[in-house]
Structure 1
């Protein structure tokens, strides 16, 4: 049964479109269960009905025409109860509703299961049989398992807005693709797909310009690949037996003009460019091999895939893609690297969208530093269809819109204009203090990690750096940077912001931040070997970095060192001992440098409850609200399944922050916040009311936060804080804070939390 399930799921996932997927599912399930009818009803939210969208066994003409209300008939009952209904004779059930024109009057046995995704009913799958009998438990379990697999396909289509479009609905409806916000902002532009070389899966669809020229390119590529295979066979003859060498003959036969290439040429003649035609043909053959029962034949899929890559590499080598970036460009890719981003003319990039990655990816960090609206993890976005298409990037909500209506496009154009106008109006605040109307002052600093951050930060009046991510110089290299290389990088940061302080976080890798040359294999990376745990286990790495920091501070005296992922007092003390030793070593080398202040990051529950003990031992505390919220709520915010549960206004988060500030105040130890909350105007005001001394954020948010602070009295914000600390619902707290601040005249500054249509 497991093999049957695997084959069905694989076939459905490889279907060309939703109608094909549904038809395949109905046919395969009917055959696998040996029953007479399998039907699939999908929920149409607009009509509030279940539509019959596929059936094997009922009359074909009923598909797409017959429907039931959400509480009508046995199908409606399955949806209402959100559980299977298994009846030996459906006609005797009081909720049975006869559907004329379907031909179901001959079938008595009924088994219906809901197709659910994220707690929502998307449709109903039904099997029926003439006999009066009850489906057994194994049959019911099989159908429930199949429906769970189908839910992903339907949810994908729902999310992308193509479900009822493909099933015969409106062809001009906008399509929405949800991801995660990478950098707030909105943008409209034309997609430019960046894809790695020799990666078949990334090749986009593109219309052919000259059929003869494309075929000629393919022929040239095939000549080179055939020679490459012959050369490999020649080298292999010295070490392989005759049986293994025969594989190369198979490769050459597959590359014969009348074999795979003939199919590629046929696809080119149908209007597809050579690379896209190659991808289509290879995908079909790989799929066919993978569906075979024989394990040996299934393995041949890898051979076909390898051949495809070789031909693609030759096609790309002879026609290196010269990318033309339009004036309003939306960069698209599975996972755009930071170097790829830096090669694109900045003045033309309006937005970025990736189907993989997270908010903490190197690219997302770079995008925020550059202020480019970004959506990451938009898994359902059909990249190959988006090249050169007009796209809207909603970085506030983490959504991509294609085929937008004129009204929707106008709405986003207004939002973009408002943001530009707001930012221009805020520029005058650059040199003004972050001070409330009744005189309470707070320091606003920036989070940095790239050289491009420096100018943007200084232009916005940053009063130093609250978090310098030292892992970024490590991430862009293929080896650990030397002490001198690190010293030069750190010196540039320290000198640029002097005399303001620069807080440098020691190497923070692990979790979702990895180094290609220092791989960390963890089954649960966020609870594994990361942050200070790595560097304390490798003092040779830690000492080199700290020595470079201290040397870089010579004559400036504005360095502060911060330790990440501290979970115990012992870790802090051990790291402080190493830092003190590094300082003495640097002094012994003749450099006159001061011992820098040392602080710890509060980002796990353990450090929250040891805040006072830590405050007694270090010079400052800095709260990383991103990880702290994630760990307190047990929510991976980069996991789309649970990202909606991530809420910085959750009462547990607010009370934890309040506890840290109160405990630090007892020891007269300053507290800063360097997580995303610090850069959100409404959250920043609450943090200020708690008594936080420093807020550190992305440079693009600094002037908004400063503007919000300068428009309120601290007494008003403290009253607001006391009110929300008495509430027990994070969603209610967020809405209430926004409402009160909007009433106070700060509505335009809260755009980064506005939900768009």
Structure 2
């Protein structure tokens, strides 16, 4: 048995034979051309044909993986119209009197090297896109057709890399998994693989040797491991893991695509809480309606210095694209209290949970805040982003936030940077916010209750003090009454209201929240299907009066 390691971009266990995929390389020869106008015409006709092919791929991807993920093929069309790219090809043909194949190949290599040398990870990925569009034109020029992976039985595809166009043309019924030597978790191929639910590994330390073709193997997408010619013990262990995974997915198959609607017709949105962009795979796998809480502070906690606007933009953009038009609610920086970041150089506090944290830092250090807001608004052009602000205690804070938001929007307009309309909401985490929620509702588009902090502040109990666990009661009537008050004030002022704290996943309270008229519950991705099941088994009309009487 041989064991190889890489990075898993989509979980799952695949067991079957390896099929080695070697991309057919276009042979490029440098030929002298006498009729330059004819050669230019030949190139331009090939470009038009390539664009038509990409339009067909876009339509196919649109049906299979959604608008945001299909957008890569629109990007490729635009790249084929890029003035610098076209000018380079045309210039080489004219000045060197050479064939179009040579000009396209040379330009593709040159541009790919430029992108590969960039420090920005997102821009590095564009090198693969340049190669992809150049190969497409070369194939058209040579009179060939784009290579498609064909196989008569389900197999594990082993390749050096897979272009987005190759991935979207995979016959999913014939592909158990794919394993590539190259690629990254942010590549379009990885995104498409996650969306198409194909177990996939990238950056695998495995040579493309003919000896692996047809060999029995196991791919563990959870650990990023490939077992070639596995022994009996490993095979038995992985078959068990596969069976357990399939059993979990059986619930997904039963509930996926079904509405979050009660027996008496009440509907509720069920969203997911995530901590970073890598969690999106689980969000999609568990069929969440959107992201109800993206904790953006992980970008700050994982770095040794302030993340730049571009770094943040790339992460937010990636999440928005992957969610394919579903709502993504991103909470602005929420550090302080138990989440300390050294490079912020904050002074020691005796009571940090009630100190310098969250929106208080942002409104004090406005440049940090504006950097994040710029990144968020830029990313809004690529999906349905909403922004919410944590630890609000006053209307004046909200008004100040809105002023800063307007400044950011004006700056982006002046610079010609596109952005979309963005819902603005606030976290309700303090008793003060609860008591003036009728006033706050007039200034924002939605509320989201953070039940962890709200319970802590309402009961005056440090939720991290183990000595107080016995009296820490998240079901306290005071807390539940506050949640209902917020819901009533939200609806009276025409805005929606959700819960993104731990109580949202407490199935013993689901009937209570439905009875209150809560619009949205946001939980960990793995808990979405269990919550959907509970909602679909509930009859609100039957339990509403008795539940509300007890609050």
Q: Which runs of 5+ in 2 are unaligned?
A: 1-198, 200-221, 223-242
2:291 to 465, 473, 481: 465
1:513 to 339, 346, 353: 339
Local SS of the residue matching 1:695: strand
Paired position in structure 2 for 1:567? 393
Is 1:589 equivalent to 2:415 in the alignment? yes
Paired position in structure 2 for 1:429? 255
Is 1:643 equivalent to 2:487 in the alignment? no
8 A contact 1:580–1:595 mirrored in 2: no
Tell me by how many angstroms 1:665 deviates: 1.3
Paired position in structure 2 for 1:411? none
Paired position in structure 2 for 1:693? 519
1:662 to 477, 481, 488: 488
* Distance in 1 between residues matched to 2:381 and 2:252, nearest whole Å: 36
Local SS of the residue matching 1:641: helix
8 A contact 1:684–1:695 mirrored in 2: no
Paired position in structure 2 for 1:614? 440
Task: Pick closer, same or farther for the CA change 1:540–1:464 going to 2, 3 Å.
Answer: same
Task: Pick closer, same or farther for the CA change 1:568–1:419 going to 2, 3 Å.
Answer: farther
Task: Pick closer, same or farther for the CA change 1:427–1:525 going to 2, 3 Å.
Answer: farther
Structure 2 counterparts to residues 6-17 of structure 1, below 5 A: none
Tell me by how many angstroms 1:426 deviates: 4.9
Paired position in structure 2 for 1:537? 364
Local SS of the residue matching 1:560: strand
Tell me by how many angstroms 1:420 deviates: 9.6
8 A contact 1:603–1:627 mirrored in 2: yes
* Distance in 1 between residues matched to 2:284 and 2:546, nearest whole Å: 32
Q: Which runs of 5+ in 1 are unaligned?
A: 1-346, 348-369, 371-416, 726-757
TM-score w.r.t. the length of structure 1 is 0.40
Paired position in structure 2 for 1:125? none
* Distance in 2 between residues matched to 1:567 and 1:532, nearest whole Å: 10
* Distance in 1 between residues matched to 2:396 and 2:361, nearest whole Å: 15
Is 1:702 equivalent to 2:528 in the alignment? yes
Local SS of the residue matching 2:466: coil
Is 1:502 equivalent to 2:364 in the alignment? no
Tell me by how many angstroms 1:427 deviates: 4.4
8 A contact 2:251–2:529 mirrored in 1: no
Q: May I ask how many residue pairs the two structures share in their alignment?
A: 310
Structure 2 counterparts to residues 115-194 of structure 1, below 5 A: none
8 A contact 1:426–1:707 mirrored in 2: no
Tell me by how many angstroms 1:501 deviates: 1.1
TM-score w.r.t. the length of structure 2 is 0.54
Is 1:526 equivalent to 2:353 in the alignment? yes
Q: Deviations over 1:666-716 (max 9, x none)?
A: 101110110011112222331121011111111111111000011121212
Task: Pick closer, same or farther for the CA change 1:566–1:637 going to 2, 3 Å.
Answer: same
Local SS of the residue matching 2:508: helix
Q: Which has the larger radius of gyration?
A: 1
* Distance in 1 between residues matched to 2:335 and 2:314, nearest whole Å: 21
Task: Pick closer, same or farther for the CA change 1:516–1:427 going to 2, 3 Å.
Answer: farther
* Distance in 2 between residues matched to 1:527 and 1:429, nearest whole Å: 42
* Distance in 2 between residues matched to 1:720 and 1:456, nearest whole Å: 36
* Distance in 2 between residues matched to 1:423 and 1:723, nearest whole Å: 39
8 A contact 2:379–2:419 mirrored in 1: no
Paired position in structure 2 for 1:64? none
8 A contact 2:276–2:296 mirrored in 1: no
8 A contact 1:446–1:467 mirrored in 2: yes
- Which one has more relative contact order, counting CA pairs under 8 Å at least 6 apart? 2
Local SS of the residue matching 1:554: helix
Q: Deviations over 1:339-377 (max 9, x none)?
A: xxxxxxxx9xxxxxxxxxxxxxxxxxxxxxx9xxxxxxx
Local SS of the residue matching 2:467: coil
* Distance in 1 between residues matched to 2:370 and 2:421, nearest whole Å: 15
* Distance in 2 between residues matched to 1:651 and 1:639, nearest whole Å: 21
Local SS of the residue matching 2:344: coil
Q: Deviations over 1:75-131 (max 9, x none)?
A: xxxxxxxxxxxxxxxxxxxxxxxxxxxxxxxxxxxxxxxxxxxxxxxxxxxxxxxxx
Task: Pick closer, same or farther for the CA change 1:441–1:640 going to 2, 3 Å.
Answer: same
Is 1:682 equivalent to 2:508 in the alignment? yes
CA RMSD of aligned residues (A): 2.1
Paired position in structure 2 for 1:630? 456
Tell me by how many angstroms 1:719 deviates: 3.1
Tell me by how many angstroms 1:418 deviates: 11
* Distance in 2 between residues matched to 1:494 and 1:646, nearest whole Å: 37
Tell me by how many angstroms 1:554 deviates: 1.4
Paired position in structure 2 for 1:484? 310
Local SS of the residue matching 1:601: strand
Task: Pick closer, same or farther for the CA change 1:516–1:420 going to 2, 3 Å.
Answer: farther
* Distance in 2 between residues matched to 1:536 and 1:687, nearest whole Å: 33
2:282 to 456, 459, 463: 456
Local SS of the residue matching 2:319: helix
8 A contact 1:636–1:643 mirrored in 2: no
Local SS of the residue matching 1:665: helix
Structure 2 counterparts to residues 279-298 of structure 1, below 5 A: none
Q: Deviations over 1:2-27 (max 9, x none)?
A: xxxxxxxxxxxxxxxxxxxxxxxxxx
* Distance in 2 between residues matched to 1:445 and 1:572, nearest whole Å: 25
Structure 2 counterparts to residues 103-502 of structure 1, below 5 A: 424-502=250-328
Tell me by how many angstroms 1:525 deviates: 0.3
8 A contact 1:658–1:690 mirrored in 2: yes
Tell me by how many angstroms 1:592 deviates: 2.9
Local SS of the residue matching 2:370: helix
Q: Deviations over 1:365-391 (max 9, x none)?
A: xxxxx9xxxxxxxxxxxxxxxxxxxxx
* Distance in 2 between residues matched to 1:668 and 1:634, nearest whole Å: 31
8 A contact 2:512–2:548 mirrored in 1: no
* Distance in 2 between residues matched to 1:472 and 1:717, nearest whole Å: 40
8 A contact 1:680–1:701 mirrored in 2: no
* Distance in 2 between residues matched to 1:494 and 1:468, nearest whole Å: 11
Structure 2 counterparts to residues 539-558 of structure 1, below 5 A: 539-556=366-383, 558=384
* Distance in 2 between residues matched to 1:468 and 1:631, nearest whole Å: 23
8 A contact 1:443–1:695 mirrored in 2: yes
* Distance in 2 between residues matched to 1:420 and 1:717, nearest whole Å: 35
Paired position in structure 2 for 1:713? 539
